[in-house]
Structure 1
Amino acid sequence: MNIVKWKLSCMLIGFIGSVLFSCGQEPASLKRDTRFFDLAAFIETQSILLDSLQPKVRKKVTIGDTVEEKIVSETNWAKELELFDQADISKPALQTSYEIEEQSEQIRVYKAKANENPNVKYIKTTLDSKTGQIVSLEALISRNNYLYHSEKKIWLQCRISPQGKSQISAYRISGMQKLIFNDQVPYHIEAEIL
Structure 2
Amino acid sequence: MYWYKHIKIFILSASITSGLASCKPDVVAGDNRYFDIKGYFSKEAERLTQLHPHVEKTVKHNKQSESRDLGISSWNDELGLFSGSDINKPAWRNSYKVIKRGNTTVYKAKLPELKTQSITIVNSGNKVQSIDIVNHTSNLLYTSTEKLSYYPDSAYHISKMQHVRLLGVNSYDIDSRF
CA positional deviation for 1:73: 2.2
The within-5 A match list for 1:39-188 is: 39-104=37-102, 106-113=103-110, 115=111, 117-129=113-125, 132-158=126-152, 168-188=153-173
Measured after TM superposition, the shift of residue 93 of structure 1 is 2.5
Percent identity of equivalent pairs: 28
Query: Is the radius of gyration larger for structure 1 or structure 2?
Result: 1
C-alpha contact (below 8 Å) 1:61/1:69 kept by paired residues = yes
Q: Which amino acid aligns with 2:144?
A: S
Q: CA deviation at 1:181?
A: 0.6
Paired residues for 1:9-24 under 5 Å: none
Change (3 A) 1:184 1:116: closer
Provide the residue aligned with 1:4 in structure 2: none
Shift of 1:99: 0.5
Provide the TM-score with structure 1 as the length reference: 0.73
The CA distance in 2 between the partners of 1:136 and 1:39, in whole Å, is 12
Paired with 1:95 and 1:71, the residues of 2 have a C-alpha distance of: 41
CA–CA separation in structure 1 for the residues paired with 2:42 and 2:116: 19
Cα shift at 1:54: 1.3
Shift of 1:170: 0.7
CA contact (8 A) 1:101 1:109 kept: yes
- What are the Cα deviations for residues 35-76 of structure 1, in whole angstroms up to 9, with x where unaligned? x21011111111111111211100011000210001012431
Question: Which ranges in structure 2 are unaligned for 5 or more consecutive residues?
Answer: 1-26
d(CA) in 1 for partners of 2:93, 2:105: 15
> Amino acid of the residue matched to residue 109 of structure 2?
A
TM-score (norm 2): 0.79
Q: Which amino acid aligns with 2:49?
A: D
Partner residue, 2:174: 189
Task: Tell me how far apart the structure 1 counterparts of residues 72 and 118 of structure 2 sit (CA, whole Å).
Answer: 31
The number of residues matched between the two structures is 151
Instruction: Report the secondary structure of 1:70's partner residue.
Output: strand
Stretches of structure 1 that go unaligned for 5 or more consecutive residues are 1-25, 159-167
Return the letter of the residue paired with 1:172.
H
